[in-house]
C-alpha cells in the first residue's frame, strides 16, 4: 500500500487472499477472482495492484476478467522509478529496467496485428508478426541502453579515480526506502535534494562535500533506497547507483527506527549488501560491516534520542534529521571512525612553505603546531594514502 500511495494512487479497497496453489492462468483461485471482480465493479476501480509477480498470461487474463488495468509489484516499482528519475543516468537505468520487464509482457493478444506483409509489393511473403517486431525493437534498444550505461559507469569510474588523486573520504548513505536518507543528506550538507515522505524519493545519486568537527572534508553520497523483494532486473539496472556504496570509506546505514518493521527493513538492506559482496564478480568487499555505522533516524517520532532502543551498540547513532537532534554526535562518530584508520606523523617545515602547510590542514587533522622563526613543527593525523602522498611530494 505504501508503494501505491507513493505514486499518487488513491487506495479505495484492499484485500488479502491466501493462496493454497498458484494457478498458472490467474494466480488466484476462481472464487477469489470473482470476489475481487465484485469489489472492482462496486468501487469503480481503474487500476489493480497485485503485490506479487504476475506472469504475462496471468496479467492478461486478470485484465480480461476484471475489465481494468492490472499491474504487479515489479510494474508498480517501475512506474515509481519512471516518475522520479531526473538525471541522464537515472532515466537510462529506468528505461533499461522497464524494457527488460516489458519484453516478457509481449503476449499474443493482438489479433488485428497478427501478420504484416514483408518485402516489396507482391514479392514479399508473410513478414514478422507485430509481437516479433516489437520484441526485436526492444532488444535493439536494450543493447543500445546497455552501451550507454556502460559509458556512464566508465565516466563514474573516472570521477572516482579523480577523487583518489585529490582524496577526500567518501561516506555513502544507504537504507530502506523512505528511511530519511535525503532529509539527513540535506541536514548535513545544506543541500536541496528532493526529500518527501514517500517511497523512492531519491533515484539519482547526489554528492556533496561536508566539513567535520576536526576540519576534515568528506564527500557525502545519497543513494537509491532498498526494498524487500526487489526484482533481479532492477538490481542489475541500478548497479551503477550502488557502485558509490562499494567505493565508500564509510557506509551510513540509515534506519527508520520508528517504523514497526524496522528490524525486517534492516535485514533486507544487510541482505542486499551481503549479496553485493558475493559471487564471481563482487561489487563490495567482505569487510563492509566494519565500515558501517547504523544511523537510527526519526528519533523525534519516539519522543527523542533518549527513547531510542539499541543505543548500547557503539556502532549506532540516534538522530532526528528533521529536528537536527543528534547530528553533532553523528559528525563526531564519522570523525572517530575516520581517525581510527589514520596515522600520526610529525613534520618540520619552513614558515615560507605555506602551500604544504595548507595541504596538511586540508587533508589531515593538525593535532599540535609550534611556530618557530626557522621551522614550523606540526603533528598531523593523516590517512596512510595522504601520508605517503605528502612525503613523496
Q: Which residues are annotated as a binding site?
A: 175-182, 200-204, 222-225, 297-300, 320-322
Would you list which residues are annotated within the binding site for Mg(2+)? Answer: 182, 202
Range 67-100 burial, b when 16+ CB lie within 10 A, else e: eeebbbbbbbbbbbbbebbeeebbebbbbbbbbb
CA torsion through residues 22, 25, 27, 33, sign: negative
* CA nearest neighbour of 91 among 148, 160, 175: 148
Would you list which residues are annotated within the binding site for GTP? Answer: 175-182, 200-204, 222-225, 297-300, 320-322
Residue whose grid cell is 509481437: 131
* CA nearest neighbour of 317 among 301, 307, 305, 303: 305
**Joined grid coordinates for residue 232:** 533481479
**Joined grid coordinates for residue 189:** 550538507
CB 118 within 8 A of CB 132: no
**Joined grid coordinates for residue 369:** 603546531
Range 222-243 burial, b when 16+ CB lie within 10 A, else e: bbbbbbeebbebbeebbebbbb
- State how far the Cα of 218 lies from the Cα of 335, in Å rounded to an integer: 10
Amino acid at each position: 500500500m505504501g508503494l501505491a500511495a507513493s505514486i499518487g494512487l488513491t487506495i479505495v479497497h484492499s484485500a488479502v487472499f491466501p493462496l493454497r496453489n498458484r494457478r498458472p492462468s490467474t494466480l488466484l483461485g476462481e472464487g477469489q477472482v470473482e470476489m475481487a471482480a465484485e469489489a472492482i465493479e462496486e468501487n469503480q476501480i481503474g487500476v489493480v495492484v497485485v503485490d506479487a509477480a504476475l506472469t504475462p498470461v496471468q496479467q492478461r487474463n486478470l485484465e480480461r476478467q476484471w475489465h481494468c488495468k492490472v499491474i504487479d509489484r515489479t510494474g508498480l516499482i517501475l512506474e515509481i522509478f519512471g516518475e522520479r528519475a531526473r538525471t541522464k543516468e537515472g532515466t537510462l537505468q529506468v528505461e533499461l529496467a522497464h524494457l527488460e520487464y516489458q519484453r516478457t509482457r509481449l503476449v499474443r493478444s493482438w489479433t488485428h496485428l497478427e501478420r504484416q506483409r514483408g518485402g516489396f509489393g507482391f514479392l514479399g511473403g508473410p513478414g514478422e508478426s507485430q509481437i516479433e517486431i516489437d520484441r526485436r525493437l526492444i532488444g535493439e534498444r536494450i543493447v543500445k541502453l546497455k552501451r550507454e550505461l556502460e559509458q556512464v559507469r566508465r565516466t563514474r569510474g573516472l570521477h572516482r579515480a579523480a577523487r583518489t588523486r585529490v582524496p577526500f573520504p567518501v561516506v555513502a548513505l544507504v537504507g530502506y526506502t523512505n528511511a530519511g536518507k535525503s532529509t539527513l543528506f540535506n541536514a548535513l550538507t545544506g543541500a536541496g535534494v528532493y526529500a518527501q515522505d514517500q517511497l523512492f524519493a531519491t533515484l539519482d545519486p547526489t554528492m556533496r562535500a561536508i566539513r567535520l568537527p576536526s576540519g576534515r572534508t568528506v564527500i557525502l553520497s545519497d543513494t537509491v533506497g532498498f526494498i524487500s523483494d526487489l526484482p533481479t532486473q532492477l538490481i542489475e539496472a541500478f548497479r551503477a547507483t550502488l557502485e558509490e556504496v562499494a567505493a565508500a570509506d564509510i557506509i551510513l546505514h540509515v534506519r527508520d527506527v520508528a517504523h514497526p518493521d524496522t528490524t525486517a527493513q534492516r535485514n533486507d538492506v544487510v541482505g542486499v549488501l551481503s549479496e553485493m559482496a558475493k559471487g564471481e564478480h563482487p561489487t563490495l568487499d567482505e569487510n563492509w560491516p566494519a565500515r558501517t555505522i547504523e544511523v537510527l533516524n526519526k528519533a523525534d517520532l519516539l519522543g527523542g534520542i533518549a527513547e531510542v532502543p539499541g543505543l548500547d551498540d557503539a556502532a549506532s547513532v540516534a538522530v532526528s534529521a528533521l529536528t537536527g537532534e543528534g547530528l553533532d554526535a553523528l559528525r563526531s562518530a564519522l570523525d572517530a571512525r575516520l581517525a581510527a584508520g589514520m596515522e600520526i606523523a610529525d613534520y618540520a617545515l619552513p614558515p615560507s612553505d605555506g602551500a604544504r602547510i595548507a595541504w596538511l590542514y586540508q587533508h589531515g587533522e593538525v593535532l599540535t603546531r609550534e611556530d618557530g622563526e626557522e621551522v614550523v613543527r606540526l603533528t598531523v593525523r593523516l590517512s596512510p594514502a595522504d601520508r605517503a602522498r605528502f612525503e613523496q611530494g
